[in-house]
Structure formats: C-alpha cells, structure tokens
Amino acid sequence: MLLQIIFYVAIAAEAMTAALAAGRRKMDWFGVCVLACVTALGGGTARDLVLGHYPLIWVENPYLLIICCAAAFITIALARYMAALRWPFLLLDALGLAAFTIIGCNVALEMGQQPIIVVVAGMITGIAGGIMRDILCNEVPLVFSSELYATVAIISGTLYYLGRSFDVPHDLLVLGTIAIGFALRVAAIVWKLEMPKFVYDKELR
Amino acid sequence: MLLQIIFYVAIAAEAMTAALAAGRRKMDWFGVCVLACVTALGGGTARDLVLGHYPLIWVENPYLLIICCAAAFITIALARYMAALRWPFLLLDALGLAAFTIIGCNVALEMGQQPIIVVVAGMITGIAGGIMRDILCNEVPLVFSSELYATVAIISGTLYYLGRSFDVPHDLLVLGTIAIGFALRVAAIVWKLEMPKFVYDKELR
Amino acid sequence: MLLQIIFYVAIAAEAMTAALAAGRRKMDWFGVCVLACVTALGGGTARDLVLGHYPLIWVENPYLLIICCAAAFITIALARYMAALRWPFLLLDALGLAAFTIIGCNVALEMGQQPIIVVVAGMITGIAGGIMRDILCNEVPLVFSSELYATVAIISGTLYYLGRSFDVPHDLLVLGTIAIGFALRVAAIVWKLEMPKFVYDKELR
C-alpha cells in the first residue's frame, strides 16, 4: 500500500525530471511526453522484456502513461519554479529508486527466478529508465559515472531478497529496505560518494 | 489490399531515406542495409516486443528484409539522382506514416488491447523506426523536435480507433484515415506546423 | 564441447575489451561491469528478444553475469598490461564471432525458423553486443564502417546453415565454420578488407 503510493509519486517525479531534461534539449511537447514516459516506465519495461513478463505494466494499466504526460505538462507549466526544487526531486527520486527496486525484485520472485536475477531485475527496474533517457538525449548514461545509484539499487535488492528468504514480515521488510535505500542514496548525494573510476587512455596496439 | 500496397511502398521509401542517412555517416554497404532494415521495420518490431506479439512480422516474412536491402542498394546505385526526390520521399513517407499507424492499431485491436494502447501501438509503429535510425546515427531523434509527425500518427490512430468502434465500413475507414493522416502531414511540412517547444536552460539547484 | 569452451573464452574476451572501452569513457566500476555484460551478452539477448526465445541465456545461467563482471575487474586490475594485448584480443574476438554466430544459428534452427532468419539470428548474436556497447558509449556503431565483421558472421552463418542442410557431420561442420570464419576475420584485419563505403553528402531538396 505504502509501496503503491511511493510508486506513483516516484513515477511522477521521474517524469518531471525527464521533462526538464527534454526542455534542455529544446524538445517539443510530444518529445517531452515521450521522454517522461520512457524515463518513468522504461525500467519496468526493460525488466519485463528481459524476463518475458507480459503484459507490460503500462500496457495493462495505460493510465500510467497519462500520469507521466500530466506530470510532463505540469512541469512545462511550472518550469519557472522548478529550479528551486532540486532537493525535493532528489529525495523523491531516492524514494523511487528503492521502491522501483523492490517492485522489480517482486516480479522476479513471483516468476521463481534465481537470486542473482532477482537482484538484477530490481536493479534494472531502478536504473534502466534513466539510461534510456540519456540515450535519447544523446549522452553517455549518467548512472555509469556519478554518485552511487545503481549500487544503492543492488544493496536494496540484496537486502530485500535476504529478508524474503528469512521470512521477515513483509511490511517491515518493505519499510526497512526503503529506509536503508533512501538513506544510502541521500548519503551518496550529500557526501558525493562514488564508485572508483576506471580511467584508461591507451589504444590497444 | 490498398493498405498492403501502401505498406510495401512505404517500407521501401523508409529504407531509401535511411540509406541516404547512412551515406551521410559514410557507413559501408552493410551499415546501409542494417540502417534501412531497422528504420523500415523497427517500428513494427518495437510494437511487437512491447505487446508480446510474436512472431515479429519480418521473422515471419523474411522477404521484408530483402525488400529493405534491395531498396538500400538501389539508393546506393542511384544516389546522384536522389537529391531531386525530396518531395516524392516526403509524400511516400506521409502515406507510410498513416498506413503504419493503421497496421499498428490493427495488431493491438486483434489482441484486445485497451483504447489508449491501440493508439499508442499505432504511433509506435509509425515513429519508432525513425527513432532507432537517429540513435544509431548518434543524434537526438528528429521526431522530438520537428514538424508534426507523431501527432499525425496519434490523430490518425484515434480516428481509426473511433471508426472501428462505430463500425464504419472498413475500406472507407482505411481510405479516410490515410487521406486525413496524409493531408495533415503534408500540411505540417508545407506550413511548418510544429508542436510548441519546451525550452529550459536552468540547472536544478 | 569445443564450442562451449570457445563460447566462454569469447564471452570473457568481449567483456574485457568492453571494460577497456568503458575506461576510455572514465566510467566507474559499476559502469564497467554493465558495459562488459551488455557487450558480451547483448547479442544473444537481442536475438532471443527478436525470436521470442525465453528464458534469455543469462537469466537461465546467471553465472554468465559473474564471468563478465570478473573479466571486467581483472581488466581493471591488469589495465597497465592490456595495451600490449591487442592481437590476443583480436584473435579471441575473431574466434568468438564465429562461435557466437554458430550458437545463434542453432537457436533459430531449433525453433524451426526460415533460412534467412537462421543466418540473421547468427549475425545478430555476433554483432549486436558491440552495437549496444557503442550506443552506450555514445558513438556511431563501429561495425557499420570498419573492417569486415558482420560480413564474416553472414558468411559463417550461411556456411553453417548449408552444412546443416546437407547433413555434414556436426563436429566437422562446427570446426570448419569456425576455421573459415576465423580466417576470414583475421584476413580482414591484416589486409584491411572493408565493404565499399556509401558516401552521400547532399541534403534532399
């Protein structure tokens, strides 16, 4: 229930930040809506394609597309006030990352997938939408080089999987996983925690 | 029947314009063929992946790949004459957009999808091939910022869906939808009709 | 059996060259692992999505992800020694191209696909991982403009399909196809054999 609410709020928040990214590329209203939908729903879509889990969530619940487009148009209308909202967006995105990860793990668990795939499914749900957004904006995906993000999804997913294996009460597990994932992501932003970079500048010869 | 003819002509026309885009990137003959196939058949492929509609049309009818490659080689052979053919290509592309949209709507209708998904399926069929072409050419997809294109697909798809709901005779409906979609697209090119742009140049802080 | 060994070695080699590409983009360790997995396993994934062949190979055998990540970390650890390994990597990649193609053809053959699709499935298995790597690195895919690569996959796939049709003993066929594919690819690198380029620099008007 809480998970559902966070899910919808996070979808809208993802759609809004994607709309701002579209605005930086001077896209038209259609492009803004597509980028909002792809970013907010792309993670779940990638997970479902990879697992062969049909129907896709937004094909079954098309109102999700409407939520994304509505969030996009709200962003267009209120663009002048958005610059001050960096922190609310970051916090909602951190909540959403944890919620998306749990939802993705659940899909894989229900399909009886192996442990690694459960965690990977959670991670894909959390990060693939942003990767698609960056590809459509013609950029190297941000998630490959910025503050801990995918790592947070992997840790949250692993905790959630372990909790399910040890029969931790579900509500407690969801709350705990979201709290830990949220705290980790916020800590990563505040203290600029990053994975080590791999810098290689030679050509093979 | 008419729809089938327009479908094949549009496939070939899409493949030819994609081949020219490949030529601008100095691709080799193989790259030209891949870009032609992806552009002409990518829309239907994306739709089928998203709907879980197997087998894909070109997997079932591999001669579609041959049509695309043949169109690519004709383009290579006759490249010097192509520059004068902007308008024929634009007109064929406009016809194709309407035809692809109708075909996409039909696939979703046969699967019993909800109204929004029917229109979205039509739109994906019409535009996703061009998006894939632009990604492979390392550009921000043109469809997000140029003259009305996706909008034409959405309008055509909505009209077609409404017509099917109200039992308009099918031949009449197909002809009417193609005529309206074609006219809209040509009008958009002639009068440079565009969706409003969303321009946002601030960073969140 | 030999095919299996070559398959694993090639997966690791693909992952290692992808890790070097990630290092040139200054990605973090997570990005390096994702790029390694996508490059090494993306070809098989694309083939399976297109054919509707579930479960995907790495979803069924998640240890493949571990092999790719391990190869990525070995690359990070031994990066200083990698520059001298251009030829070993090229040779392993050439072996892998032939092995991936055969494996892809086999999947399509088992599904009873038509001849063209068998060869296309082999080719996709051989080349799509590299295309995904280049898209994630924000570059026009190399395979569209460099020495014969996809062509080698198409020739290997066609030979393998013909061999299967004429009941050539399977071990002999696999060995022969790999030998020919390997030799062709190495010849292409040594003598810089390329497909003709299509260069087009006009805008349509």
* Residue B198 resides in a domain: no
Tokens 């129907």, located at residue? A55
Q: CA of A173 to nearest chain B CA: how many angstroms apart?
A: 32
Chain C: touching chains (3 or more CB pairs < 8 Å): A, B
According to DSSP H, which parts of chain A are helical? 2-24, 29-51, 57-60, 63-77, 79-82, 86-110, 115-136, 150-165, 170-190
* Residue A198 resides in a domain: no
The residue ranking higher by pLDDT, B58 or B146, is B58
The CB density around residue B87, as the number of other CB atoms within 10 Å, is: 12
* Residue C90 resides in a domain: yes
pLDDT above 90 for B41: yes
Percent of chain C predicted with pLDDT > 70: 99
* Residue C199 resides in a domain: no
Contacts with A88 (C-beta within 8 Å, 6 or more apart), sequence order: none
* Chain A residues with beta carbon closer than 8 angstroms to that of B139: 138
Say whether A12 sits in a helix, a strand or coil.
helix
Mutate to test the interface with B, among C198, C201, C202, C204 (most CBs of B within 10 A): C198
**ipTM of the assembly?**
0.90
> Is the CB of A205 less than 8 angstroms away from the CB of C24?
no
pLDDT in tens, chain A (205 residues): 788 888 999 899 999 989 999 999 999 999 999 999 999 999 999 999 999 999 999 999 999 999 999 999 999 999 888 878 888 888 988 998 999 999 999 999 999 999 999 999 999 999 999 999 999 999 899 888 888 899 999 999 999 999 999 999 999 999 999 999 999 999 999 999 988 999 988 776 5
The confidence score (pLDDT) of residue C204 equals 64
> Is the CB of B86 less than 8 angstroms away from the CB of C204?
yes
* Residue B25 resides in a domain: yes
* Residue A205 resides in a domain: no
Q: CA of C66 to nearest chain A CA: how many angstroms apart?
A: 9
DSSP 8-state class, residue B61: -
The confidence score (pLDDT) of residue B84 equals 81
C135, B135 contact by CB (below 8 A): yes
Span B136-173, pLDDT tens digits: 999 899 888 888 899 999 999 999 999 999 999 999 99
Contacts with C137 (C-beta within 8 Å, 6 or more apart), sequence order: A140, C21, C22, C25, C35
Chain A: touching chains (3 or more CB pairs < 8 Å): B, C
Say whether C83 sits in a helix, a strand or coil.
helix
* Residue C205 resides in a domain: no
* Residue A201 resides in a domain: no
Dihedral (CA of A176, A182, A185, A188) sign: negative
> Is the CB of C195 less than 8 angstroms away from the CB of B29?
yes
Which domain, by its residues, includes A28?
A: 2-190
> Is the CB of B23 less than 8 angstroms away from the CB of C194?
no
Span C115-164, pLDDT tens digits: 999 999 999 999 999 999 999 999 899 888 888 899 999 999 999 999 99
Residues of C with CB under 8 A from a CB of A: 17, 19-20, 22-32, 34-35, 45, 49, 54-56, 59, 62, 65-66, 76, 79, 82-86, 89, 135-138
Residue type at position A107: V
> Is the CB of C198 less than 8 angstroms away from the CB of B85?
no
Domain count, chain B: 1
The confidence score (pLDDT) of residue A47 equals 97
Q: To the nearest whole number, what is the mean pLDDT of chain C?
A: 92
